[in-house]
Structure 1
Amino acid sequence: MSPNAPLSVGAVVLTMNDRPVEFPRALACLLAQEGIDLDVVVVGNGCVPEQVPAGIRTVVLPENVGIPEGRNVGAAHVRGEFLFFFDNDAHLPGGDELARLAAELDGDAGLAYVQPRIADPDTGVTLRRWVPRLRAADPARPGIVTVMAEGVVMIRRTAFEAAGGWPGHFFLFHEGIDLSWRLWNHGGTGRYVPDVITHHPATDPSRHTPYHHLNARNRVWLARRNLPRALIPVHLATFSVLTLFRLRTRSALTATLSGFREGLHTPCGPRSPLRWTTIARLTLAGRPPVV
């Protein structure tokens, strides 16, 4: 690539044709980005994508394969040195967000992914779950991070492919932690860049009926896939205590227990435990993989 050539970014957006207002806005803000060589692909997760502007390619999946697998499909159909995964109800308020994120990755060869600050467009509030670290009280504090809010994140393609991509069988929830850990296990790091702002409505994932079941199942799969055997019970004990403290209804408890059982008794996918040196790096970065 010429030294003066713009950095190349491949953006992946999923749709189920269920957001007729937000989805066109998400695509429009991507196409308005400047200073990069941008390629965009829309993946129809169980549908033929509608409201797609001319010049944007589409991929049609005959059934809904879930968010992480849909993103894997999109990544295979888009070009770019860096991959940008973008929720279809998010939007970029300016025209240079992708160029700034790409510049962060381009300037540090050891950086595997960067995440902007996500804020509600109406209130400006950044939810704690959007801040990829334990000490999340100040969402404006930048730094190295060990997990990600997977709905709006840019990842170096070579690192993404080396780590095996998203855990497609998770369907929904915790796929960002799984991928982050594997990116770190391949020698990369993550960075939170809060001066780059992305807007996203501050919705509650627990509004979805399957949330509690999938949340518990995938957490068990996450631990079984990625942790040394000695740390699996520690991680799951911590998760169980925190989850039980947060549950408010009997139905949520029942769904959580059902998901936990499924996670223990069904295949979790290929197992590739984190190296102890990676666990040490994660701990020094502020988040040991037992929390």
Structure 2
Amino acid sequence: MTLSPRIGVVIVTMGTRPRELEALLASVAKQDVPAARVVLVGNATSLDDVSTDVLGAAGTPGATEVTKVPLTENLGCPGGRNVGLELLRDGGGADGEEVDVVVELDDDGLLIATDVFREVRRQFAEDPRLGIIGFRVADEQGRTERRWVPRLRAGDPMRGGPVTAFLGGGHAFSMPMLRQIGLWPGEFFFGHEESDLAWRALDGGWEIRYVPTLVLQHPRTSPARHAVYYRFTARNRVWLARRRLPVPLIPVYLGVWITLAMLRMRSVTGLKAWWGGFAEGIRTPAGERAPMSWRTVWRMTRLGRPPVL
């Protein structure tokens, strides 16, 4: 990777959070290292009402090229992000040079510091095997929920370093890594797409690094607010196991998560949807099977999270 990696940004929106999106774009524009390019993908939305004036007029010093990509259908979060990633991967930067790093941000997130891109660029420039940087997600009061910490021991959200997972709301990818391992599993639509990509990255020899000083402010919400949450969570766990785990670990992984899901379930409707999704994951094609090596299993175990938890 170059000494000064060029940064691209991908944001996917359904057009339902216009104020939050405008604030996010403004926070991108305030970065002291400007992005080479910003791609806005509209999942089943035209983006006609989205203003990009906050990123500067074309041709002015420090202005960022913004590309709007309206989609006629909702491809889900991973599918929409893939549209943006493919555009940056195949189209390069504004002046024809390649984008080396891609930052992906939730449309209701906010970069509260102005040096996020500078630090992202520095870390990728210094470590050619760094594949993914995970940001710390915090609410408006600066609090990070345990489920937002990509470790099993989540008591200290400020403990950074190598991990086996990352949050989809705010992160940065190495473009060379994406060229090697591929993009998001678009067929997942919602849920566990981060695990699929993270496991492929680790199996490809890349590092995932949690950097808690890089903060994405995000409102506290429950993933169960999505109507498809229980169904897709169960289905995608089965698909994930069938695609990425060595055969002996598949029943162990599914057994662990069946137990945890049943212990945590508080809704009869959710229970029915969960088991429906689990059955769907068993009977439908999971996609190409490419299980991780036992070396990767051991690497993840040494990092504190074996791929059965």
* Contact 2:5–2:124, Cα closer than 8 Å, also in 1: no
C-alpha distance in structure 1 between counterparts of 2:266 and 2:40, whole Å: 37
Q: Is 1:91 matched up with 2:110?
A: yes
Could you give the per-residue CA deviations for residues 211-261 of structure 1, whole angstroms, max 9, x where no partner exists?
111110111111111001111000000011111110001111101100000
Match 1:255 to one of 270, 273, 296: 273
Match of 2:284 in 1: 266
C-alpha distance in structure 2 between counterparts of 1:28 and 1:117, whole Å: 20
Q: How far is the alpha carbon of 1:35 from its aligned partner?
A: 2.2
Identity %: 41
Q: How far is the alpha carbon of 1:177 from its aligned partner?
A: 0.7
Match of 2:252 in 1: 234
Match of 2:300 in 1: 282
Q: TM-score, normalised by structure 1?
A: 0.96
Match of 2:79 in 1: 69
Match of 2:14 in 1: 16
* Contact 1:7–1:36, Cα closer than 8 Å, also in 2: no
Match of 2:207 in 1: 189
Could you give the per-residue CA deviations for residues 59-102 of structure 1, whole angstroms, max 9, x where no partner exists?
12110011101111101112410011110000101211121122
| Matched residue SS, 1:17 | coil
* Contact 1:8–1:36, Cα closer than 8 Å, also in 2: no
C-alpha distance in structure 2 between counterparts of 1:2 and 1:146, whole Å: 25
Match of 1:204 in 2: 222
| Matched residue SS, 2:210 | strand
**Structure 1: gaps of 5 or more residues:** none
Q: Residue type of the partner of 1:148?
A: F
* Contact 1:134–1:286, Cα closer than 8 Å, also in 2: yes
**Structure 2: gaps of 5 or more residues:** 54-64, 93-98
Match 1:120 to one of 134, 139, 142: 139
Q: TM-score, normalised by structure 2?
A: 0.90
C-alpha distance in structure 2 between counterparts of 1:230 and 1:86, whole Å: 36
C-alpha distance in structure 2 between counterparts of 1:145 and 1:44, whole Å: 31
* Contact 1:215–1:256, Cα closer than 8 Å, also in 2: yes
| Matched residue SS, 1:7 | coil
* Contact 2:165–2:198, Cα closer than 8 Å, also in 1: yes
Q: How far is the alpha carbon of 1:188 from its aligned partner?
A: 0.5
* Contact 1:279–1:289, Cα closer than 8 Å, also in 2: yes
| Matched residue SS, 2:123 | helix
Match of 1:42 in 2: 40
Q: How far is the alpha carbon of 1:133 from its aligned partner?
A: 1.1
Q: How far is the alpha carbon of 1:7 from its aligned partner?
A: 2.6
Match of 1:51 in 2: 50
Distance verdict in 2 for CA 1:247–1:159, change over 3 Å:
same
Could you give the per-residue CA deviations for residues 37-74 of structure 1, whole angstroms, max 9, x where no partner exists?
43100011111113131441111211001110111110
Q: Residue type of the partner of 1:231?
A: L
* Contact 1:129–1:149, Cα closer than 8 Å, also in 2: no
* Contact 1:7–1:37, Cα closer than 8 Å, also in 2: no
Match 1:30 to one of 28, 31, 43: 28
Distance verdict in 2 for CA 1:2–1:213, change over 3 Å:
closer
Q: Residue type of the partner of 1:253?
A: L
Match of 2:180 in 1: 162
C-alpha distance in structure 2 between counterparts of 1:185 and 1:36, whole Å: 32
Q: How far is the alpha carbon of 1:36 from its aligned partner?
A: 4.4
| Matched residue SS, 1:77 | helix
| Matched residue SS, 1:51 | coil
Q: Which runs of 4+ in 1 moved over 2 A?
A: 35-38
Q: Is 1:151 matched up with 2:149?
A: no
| Matched residue SS, 2:16 | coil
Could you give the per-residue CA deviations for residues 109-160 of structure 1, whole angstroms, max 9, x where no partner exists?
1211111211001x22111221111111110111111011112110101112
